[in-house]
């Protein structure tokens, strides 16, 4: 039974869990992902944590704490900064135990940890290995990265891995990126470690690089983030393209090859949707994205992540309901109400960090590991360092000419909107529109507020049950911290 609304990001604003693989166990959705640190110098510097929610209450997430520490892996390099725990995946073995497959920077191998519970304390188990005992990745194969698992209905276990980017020496660690797309290995379910598909590398036909040219994969060649799902009698391979900001899909009748390109599942800047033709028109700062698909109570959802703090390494978990008809997925739109099952209520308090569109007069940026400049661009951030509690994230540099959008609300009975700001802006106003780029439906005069202050306006009648709200600053020199707003 639903007890609370679901927002994006669906975890608390202080939590940074990208690369999420969702799995249902005993009526709960468990999330297995990497763990960024707020303002971290690199990706994936935290230990693995786990969250779960009831399948009928997707706004009610429970924190299970740390489930696996980096130091538990015997091969863990001493230097953490460039050697974090990257995107994992979980599969239930025939023995009923839970196996966590993961990659750690600096090892070149795919490691495995095991636990008797889905979110208990995992213990190191071993390395995926060939039959002679050599770990995969130790024969100068293409770079092993981002393992994805599938336990098929016939009891056969498949592992997918691969990395096609060529310009990241921190991750590559001297290894060769794949030229032939993602690899797969069939593993022996007796030990969940040993490759039984032979020593020769096998590829599933999701193309990248030169091989993708002139094919349907050319616009979205394989980059990283292998994940596999089965719906009905079809196998769906989910991956992040070389464009990085797009999560894509391919489909086949079998798990070990024959995949044909399907399309884009979601873009972390809404790139590809109407009015957003390319990265120059993105509706939020972009970077990499990674995630997967899941069916929950007859509906389909795509899990992915967004970026905050003006750099790539403060990533947050998001999810959207996605349309699935006749075996095909249509690109999902980034929203504030992703797992909610419909628009958010037109009454109550809402934090500004659930914005799904955040851009300045000059647009957005494709982020790097260095913070982008502040000038003219609003951004999501938090006060204090990495932490598990404290104030919510907020939008900083909410400035003249910027746009902050929230989707969607049922505003049929909403009459009043109150915004909470702190900053500078004598003679300015905050305008509110219900369609991007349209004339405002509300203009709220604001002023300099050295302490947090509220400003209120009356909404017009006649608004609908699925309305967006776009906030902008009008007037010279306005610059605020935008923390929250209330609907009444």
The radius of gyration computed from the CA coordinates of the chain, to the nearest angstrom, equals 23
Catalytic residue status for 224: yes
In the structure encoding, which two tokens stand for residue 446, read together?
């604001």
Distances (CA, A) of 157 to 117, 163, 184: 20, 21, 10
Residue 221 has pLDDT above 60, yes or no: yes
What are the phi and psi torsion angles at 407 (to 5°)? -135, 130
Contacts of 323 (CB under 8 A, 6+ apart): 300, 329, 330, 332
Cβ neighbours around 69 below 10 Å, total:
16
What's the mean pLDDT in 226-243?
A: 98
pLDDT at 1: 87
Strands (E), 104-221: 110-115, 123-127, 148-151, 157-161, 183-187, 202-203
pLDDT at 166: 84
Q: Are 272 and 284 spatial neighbours (Cβ–Cβ below 8 Å)?
A: no
CA-wise closest residue to 313 among 7, 19, 9, 11? 19
Catalytic residue, from 89, 186, 224, 320: name it: 224
Q: For a pLDDT cut of 90, what percent of the chain falls above it?
A: 95
CA-wise closest residue to 53 among 7, 14, 89? 7
For the chain, give every domain's residue range. Answer: 21-329, 348-487
Q: Write the pLDDT tens digit of every residue in 389-441.
A: 889 999 999 999 999 999 999 999 999 999 999 999 999 999 999 999 999 99
Domain range 348-487, CATH architecture: Sandwich (2.60)
Assign a CATH topology to domain 21-329.
Answer: Tachylectin-2; Chain A (2.115.10)
pLDDT at 169: 54
pLDDT at 171: 60
Chain mean pLDDT for the chain: 96
Q: Write the pLDDT tens digit of every residue in 290-299.
A: 999 999 999 9
Distances (CA, A) of 400 to 346, 407, 484: 27, 21, 18
Residue with the two structure tokens 């982008």: 372
Q: Are 237 and 193 spatial neighbours (Cβ–Cβ below 8 Å)?
A: no
Residue 17 has pLDDT above 70, yes or no: yes
Q: In whole angstroms, what is the distance from residue 245 CA to residue 242 CA?
A: 8
Query: CA torsion sign, 324 to 325 to 327 to 330?
Result: negative
pLDDT at 271: 98
pLDDT at 103: 96
End-to-end CA distance of the chain: 25
Q: In whole angstroms, what is the distance from residue 93 CA to residue 99 CA?
A: 7
Q: Are 393 and 358 spatial neighbours (Cβ–Cβ below 8 Å)?
A: no
Whether pTM > 0.85 for this model: the answer is yes
What's the mean pLDDT in 112-120?
A: 98
Q: In whole angstroms, what is the distance from residue 485 CA to residue 471 CA?
A: 11
Continuous segment of H or E residues that includes residue 432: strand 428-433
In the structure encoding, which two tokens stand for residue 430, read together?
């905050």
CA-wise closest residue to 223 among 205, 210, 241? 241
DSSP 281-320: G-SS-B-----EEEEETTEEEEEEEEE-TTSTTSEEEEEE
Residue 168 has pLDDT above 90, yes or no: no
pLDDT at 82: 77
Q: In whole angstroms, what is the distance from residue 304 CA to residue 317 CA?
A: 6
pLDDT band at residue 305 using 50, 70 and 90 as cut-offs: very high
Q: In whole angstroms, what is the distance from residue 299 CA to residue 114 CA?
A: 30
Catalytic residue, from 15, 19, 36, 321: name it: 19
β pairing state of 222-231 and 234-241: antiparallel
Q: Is the peptide bond before 9 cis (omega within 30 degrees of 0)?
A: yes
Residue with the two structure tokens 């902008």: 472
Catalytic residue status for 19: yes
Contacts of 409 (CB under 8 A, 6+ apart): 337, 343, 344, 345, 346, 466, 467, 468, 469, 487
pLDDT band at residue 444 using 50, 70 and 90 as cut-offs: very high
Cβ neighbours around 349 below 10 Å, total:
11
Q: What residues pair up with 381 in beta bridges, in sequence order? A: 394
Cβ neighbours around 89 below 10 Å, total:
24
What are the phi and psi torsion angles at 209 (to 5°)? 55, -140
Q: Write the pLDDT tens digit of every residue in 307-351.
A: 999 999 999 999 999 999 999 999 999 999 999 999 999 999 999
């Amino acid at each position: 039974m639903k007890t609370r609304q679901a927002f994006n990001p669906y975890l608390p604003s202080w939590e940074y869990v990208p690369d999420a693989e969702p799995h249902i166990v005993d009526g709960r959705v468990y999330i297995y992902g990497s763990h960024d640190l707020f303002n971290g110098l690199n990706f994936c510097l935290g230990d693995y944590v786990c969250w779960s929610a009831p399948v009928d209450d997707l706004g009610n997430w429970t924190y299970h704490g740390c489930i696996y520490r980096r130091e538990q892996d015997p091969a863990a390099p001493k230097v953490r900064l460039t050697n974090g725990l990257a995107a994992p995946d979980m599969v239930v073995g025939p023995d009923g135990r839970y196996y966590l497959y993961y990659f750690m920077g600096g090892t070149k191998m795919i490691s495995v940890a095991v636990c008797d519970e889905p979110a208990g304390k995992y213990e190191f188990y071993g390395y995926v290995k060939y039959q002679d005992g050599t770990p995969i990745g130790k024969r100068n194969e293409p770079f092993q990265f981002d393992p994805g698992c599938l336990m098929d209905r016939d009891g056969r276990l498949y592992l997918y891995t691969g990395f096609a980017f060529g310009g990241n020496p921190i991750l590559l660690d001297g290894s060769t990126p794949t030229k032939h797309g993602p690899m797969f290995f069939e593993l022996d379910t007796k030990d969940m470690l040993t490759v039984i598909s032979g020593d020769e590398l096998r590829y599933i036909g999701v193309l990248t690089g030169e091989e993708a040219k002139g094919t349907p994969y050319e616009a979205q060649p394989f980059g990283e983030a292998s994940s596999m799902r089965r719906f009905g009698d079809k196998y769906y391979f989910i991956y992040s393209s070389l464009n990085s900001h797009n999560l894509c899909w391919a489909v086949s009748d079998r798990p070990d090859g024959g995949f044909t390109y399907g399309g884009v599942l979601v873009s972390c800047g809404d790139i590809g949707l109407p009015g957003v033709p390319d990265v120059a028109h993105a509706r939020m700062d972009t970077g990499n994205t990674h995630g997967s698909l899941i069916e929950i109570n007859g509906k389909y959802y795509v899990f992915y992540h967004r970026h905050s703090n003006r750099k790539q390494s403060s990533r947050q978990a998001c999810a959207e309901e996605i349309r699935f008809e006749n075996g095909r997925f249509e690109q999902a739109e980034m929203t504030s109400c992703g797992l909610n099952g419909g628009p958010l209520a037109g009454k109550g308090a809402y934090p500004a960090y659930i914005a799904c569109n955040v851009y300045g007069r000059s647009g957005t940026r494709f982020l790097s590991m260095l913070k982008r400049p502040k000038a003219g661009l609003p951004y999501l951030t938090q006060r204090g360092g990495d932490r598990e509690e404290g104030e919510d994230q907020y939008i900083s540099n909410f400035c003249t000419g910027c746009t902050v959008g929230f989707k969607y609300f049922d505003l049929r009975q909403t009459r009043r909107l109150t915004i909470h700001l702190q900053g500078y802006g004598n003679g300015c106003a905050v305008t509110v529109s219900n369609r991007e780029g349209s004339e405002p439906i509300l203009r709220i005069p604001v002023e300099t507020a050295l302490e947090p202050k509220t400003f209120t306006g009356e909404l017009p009648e006649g608004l609908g049950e699925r309305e967006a709200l776009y906030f902008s600053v009008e007037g010279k020199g306005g610059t605020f911290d935008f923390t929250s707003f209330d609907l009444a």
